[in-house]
Amino acid sequence: LRKFSTEKISLLQTFGAQLGMALENAQLYNEVHRGKAYIENLVENAADIILSTDLEDQILTWNRGAELTLGYSKEEVIGKHLSILLPPSRVHELAEMRAKVELSGALRDIEVEGKRKGGAAIYLSLSVSPITDVDGKIVGFLRVAKDVTEKKRYERRLKELDKLKSDFVSN
């Protein structure tokens, strides 16, 4: 029987420990990768508009819900300024939104007017949250929106009908 020297045993133990750490890291990497793919799938297939921008409002991500609701493909908007989704009279609101999010931490369910590809007006219920790095510094913004154009149309119609009713009763 051949005996290993203490030096070789120590070396084999070191290799074993490193191999164990490498296997554990590979397992953690796979878990993180699966979790990331799952979240990306949820975001991509959500019916709502989900997009992210950098600090200068350049569009970084764009999901399928945004494509279907607003009419632009990812290729058409990634890298473009968010102002392409707003009527010119509303572009100033982007800076106001950024400032409010930086101050309060988030905006929830605010109604904004936007425009679809081709220029048609759309009304959205919008939430804006900051995207932060590991140090807590804001590096961008997450915007989640739902089309409320039909709801706005019904509300306007109800107001018109209410006014007609009031006019009729007063006459």
pLDDT tens readout for residues 91-118: 999 999 999 999 998 999 999 999 999 9
Answering whether pTM is above 0.85, one says: no
For strands 49-54 and 107-115, give the pairing: unpaired
pLDDT digits (tens, 9 = 90+) for 4-51: 888 988 998 999 999 999 999 999 999 999 998 998 888 898 999 999
Nearest to 119 by CA among 149, 152, 86, 80: 86
pLDDT digits (tens, 9 = 90+) for 52-75: 999 999 999 999 999 999 999 999
Reported as a pLDDT band with limits 50, 70 and 90, residue 153 is: confident
